[in-house]
A and B are shown apart, each in its own frame.
Chain A
Amino acid sequence: MIAASFRAMGTTVQVTVRREQDIASTQALFRDIEDRCSRFLPGSDLSRLNDSGDCDLAVPRPLARVLEIAADMRDRTDGLVDAGLGAVVSAWGYNRSFEQIGESLVPSPIDSRPDWSVTDGRMSRSPGTRFDLGGVAKGWACDQAVEGGHALIVNAGGDVRSDSPEALVEVMDPWGECVARVPLGIGALATSSTTRRRWKTTEGEAHHLIDPRTLTPSNSPIVSSTVVAATAVEAEAGAKAMLLHGVDGLAWASSRPWIGGALAVWADGSVYATSGMELQAA
């Protein structure tokens, strides 16, 4: 097996592949999905959708597929993980690639929640709805890389998808300490955190996890959440939703049949997990 890494989607992607040429094909897959689904690339399908003022329009098939998955994740997370919050994230200052975010931005919060749906390649949305597919696209790219036979294990910024029975994931807390080792095997695991992708605004520190109930960055006591699921898309959405649920997050995750296990790092440094989480001592 060969381990390699490359930059894509604003993060480092680590891959484990069987053959040398699989590195390039995995990288090409990530680039292709980024080219279609990035809100930061002016020519991407998503940028064209976001910049279009139309509320009812046809969407290119690959992008429509990712939007359909995003809609499914929104429904499964009771609306907490909503890709249609792109305008809100931008309003809080995350309107360019994270590396280019400046200091002391002045947020201009939005007070209306988006409403959108996609059916048979047609998008219907409320005026002003913009999309942020960063999380869904990253998870989907991991899934596609493994399901398409390009890679055995993919780790894109904490979203892990594996087809290797021996895959083991070390879950790190925001202070850089390994809090658990998860014998993942075949499946997926994702970690979402409010201590990364943070920036300063005149209203205080902001981060990328917007709570759709308040349309502001989440004030959850969970600073890092990890979820195990069958696919990286599900694990990523589950981790975000659990974090946004706050004190009820672990109970919520435990009650979802599509979530295999969950772990939460509390703001006071405590670490809790659901009983379904298979762990090895760190």
Chain B
Amino acid sequence: MIRKRFPKIRTLRISAWTTIALAWAIAIVGRQMEAPAAEEAALVPEPTSTTSPAAEVANTMPTMPEDGLVVIRYTPAPPPPPSVVRQVVVQAAPSSPTVSASQGS
């Protein structure tokens, strides 16, 4: 009975069309899913660092010495970078006999 209703040629035809229809549907759905991802990718800029290498260096903390660390001043917001310092010759003011200032050279 079944063999009568579904002869070999008909079964093959149904299988072929089913395969084609499934492939088509998968292709359509796949293309629709890819499109938003591609659009999203197009909108997202190349990953770039928002901080300069110098700022990254600045955002580190000192390694803790074995006998402890004294925090004299903690500045989470960085101050403006010091400008390039050119050495200017000035007449040094007379200093107090016992107070010196050390700012580096």
List chain A positions with a Cβ less than 8 A from chain B: 1-5, 7, 10-12, 14, 16, 98-99, 135, 138, 153, 155, 157-160, 162, 164, 166-176, 178-180, 184, 189-193, 195-200, 205, 219-221, 223-226, 239, 246-251, 253-255, 263-264, 266-277, 279, 282
- Max chain B Cβ within 10 angstroms of own Cβ: one of A1, A7, A10, A269: A269
Minimum Cβ distance to chain B for residue A158 (Å) = 4
- Contacting A at CB under 8 A, from B63-86, are 63-79, 82, 84-85
Contact A248 B105 (CB under 8 A): no
- Contacts A98-B87, A155-B102, A179-B72 hold; do A268 and B62 have CB atoms under 8 A apart? no
In the complex with contacts A169-B102, A226-B102, A254-B65, A269-B79 CB distance below 8 A:
yes
User: Which residues of chain A are near B82, meaning CB under 8 Å?
Assistant: 174-175, 195, 223
Least CB separation from B79: chain A residue? A269
* Chain B: interface residue total (CB-CB under 8 A): 44
Asked if B85 and A198 make an inter-chain contact with CB atoms under 8 angstroms apart, the answer reads yes
Nearest chain B CB to A211 CB, angstrom units: 13
When the two chains form their complex, are residues A274 and B69 in contact, meaning their CB atoms are under 8 A apart?
yes
B73 nearest in chain A by CB position: A271
Secondary structure class of chain B's binding surface, majority of residues: loop
- Bound-state CA distance A101–B93 (Å) is 26
Contacts of B49 in A (CB 8 A): none
| Contact A172 B98, CB 8 Å, known A263-B72, A269-B78, A272-B62 | no
B49 CB to nearest A CB, Å: 15
Contact in complex: B67, A275 (CB < 8 Å): yes
Complex: A42 Cα to B99 Cα, angstroms: 36
CB nearest to A192 among chain B residues: B104
The stretch among B1-9, B17-25, B53-61 that forms the contact with chain A is B53-61
Return chain B residues, CB-CB under 8 Å to A4: 94
Interface residues of B (CB under 8 A from A): 53-54, 57-79, 82, 84-85, 87, 89-90, 92, 94-105
A275 touches B65 (CB 8 A): yes
Q: Are B59 and A268 in contact (CB under 8 A)?
A: yes
Docked CA distance A249–B53 (Å): 19
A168-B99 contact, Cβ under 8 Å, with A219-B53, A264-B62, A268-B59: yes
Whether A250 contacts B62 in the complex (CB less than 8 A), given A268-B75, A274-B69, comes out as yes
Q: Are A193 and B67 in contact (CB under 8 A)?
A: no
User: Given B69, B87, B92, B99, which contacts A197 in the complex, CB threshold below 8 Å?
Assistant: B87
With A197-B87, A198-B84, A254-B66 known as contacts, the answer to whether A14 contacts B95 (CB < 8 A) is: yes
Is the Cβ of A3 less than 8 Å from the Cβ of B97? Answer: yes
- B78 to chain A minimum Cβ distance, whole angstroms, is 4
> B31 to chain A: closest CB distance in Å?
48
Name the residue of chain A whose CB is nearest to the CB of B100. Answer: A155
Find out whether the CB atom of B105 lies under 8 angstroms from the CB atom of A251.
no
Asked if A271 and B72 make an inter-chain contact with CB atoms under 8 angstroms apart, the answer reads yes
Nearest CB of chain B from residue A72's CB, rounded to whole Å: 21
What's the Cα separation between A223 and B78 when bound, in Å? 13
Chain B residues whose C-beta falls within 8 Å of the C-beta of A225 in the assembled complex:
104
